[in-house]
């Protein structure tokens, strides 16, 4: 069963009042993103074969911002944070951890226990508690003041940029138990060593590690990095270039460029799997 939640379309009157507060935050005039709620039930996601999307941990209700999407084929064995944006490109292998407010490119590899895009808290407000800007949190308003739910929702405060998007480029490898601060940008081809804490942007094709993470070395020389950046090989399906010897990077780039120039390969442009698509499949 699936519920499409476009702010006011909710399954209970109380939830409706709370989420109407998402449409515009107090004093800012800024419209916040609509949400979609999907109910995976106890059996989980069974649409892998028809969509190319693996979501083995999906259980119960999951609410994400409606601009979220998955580009098939891709495998996501991570927990997805509620009420966030999650955008994941094709050919990714995500083996665990928690993701939220994140855009991930193609061919990324993420090890278990990685934390990406955790929401921060306002430190200059009266309180750092989320209840100050998420009155629907834990259904406390419903429990303590059900008659005031509309009033509480109407006074929902905008937390500002504490939920900043984190952006991972293409062909990024993140080792086990890495923490990536919200709002960081990880460049194409970067490698993050296990147990690192990433607090600032990571250059393309760099290897970083430590607490806080620092550049340890570059993966390739500047000329090769320039060629990789210009070619953007991840535009193509792995099965169109799989027979190339990737171990010799110079000749691999030459061969990919030759196939592009001779029109032997075309860019891979699959239809994105939106939350509406998932919701529709869950209804069946």
User: Which residues are known catalytic residues?
Assistant: 121
Among the listed residues 170, 182, 60, the one whose alpha carbon sits nearest the alpha carbon of residue 119: 182
**Which structure tokens are listed for 106?**
């193609």
Classify each residue of 129-163 as buried b or exposed e, where b means 16 or more C-beta atoms within 10 Å of its C-beta.
eeebbbbbeeeebbeeeeeebbebbeebbebeebb
Count helices and strands (H / E) in the chain. 8, 22
Distances (CA, A) of 269 to 71, 90, 206, 211, 234: 9, 10, 28, 38, 11
Alpha helices in 136-248 (DSSP H): 140-144, 149-154, 222-231, 238-241
Question: Token digits for 250?
Answer: 């110079």
Q: Find residue 198's DSSP bridge partners.
A: 180
């Amino acid at each position: 069963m699936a519920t499409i939640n476009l702010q006011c379309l909710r399954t209970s009157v109380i939830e409706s009042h709370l989420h109407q507060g998402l449409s515009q935050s107090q004093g800012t005039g800024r419209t916040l993103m609509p949400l979609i709620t999907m109910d995976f039930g106890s059996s989980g996601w069974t649409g892998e074969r028809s969509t190319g999307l693996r979501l083995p941990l999906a259980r119960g209700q999951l609410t994400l911002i409606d601009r979220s999407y998955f580009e098939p084929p891709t495998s996501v064995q991570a927990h997805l944070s509620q009420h966030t944006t999650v955008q994941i490109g094709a050919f990714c292998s995500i083996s665990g951890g928690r993701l939220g407010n994140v855009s991930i490119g193609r061919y990324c590899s993420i090890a278990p226990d990685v934390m990406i895009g955790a929401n921060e808290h306002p430190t200059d407000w009266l309180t750092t508690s989320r209840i100050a800007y998420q009155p629907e949190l834990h259904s406390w308003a419903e429990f303590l003041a059900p008659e005031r739910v509309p009033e509480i929702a109407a006074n929902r405060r905008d937390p500002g940029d504490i939920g900043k998007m984190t952006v991972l480029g293409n062909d990024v490898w993140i080792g086990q138990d890495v923490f990536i601060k919200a709002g960081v940008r990880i460049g194409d081809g970067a490698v993050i060593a296990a147990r690192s804490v990433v607090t600032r942007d990571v250059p393309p094709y760099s290897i970083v590690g430590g607490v806080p993470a620092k550049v340890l070395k570059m993966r390739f020389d500047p000329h090769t990095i320039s060629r990789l950046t210009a070619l953007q090989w991840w535009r193509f399906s792995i099965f169109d270039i799989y027979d190339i010897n990737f171990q010799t990077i110079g000749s691999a780039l030459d061969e990919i460029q030759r196939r592009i120039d001779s029109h032997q390969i075309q860019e891979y442009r699959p239809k994105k799997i939106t939350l509406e698509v998932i919701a529709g499949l869950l209804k069946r």
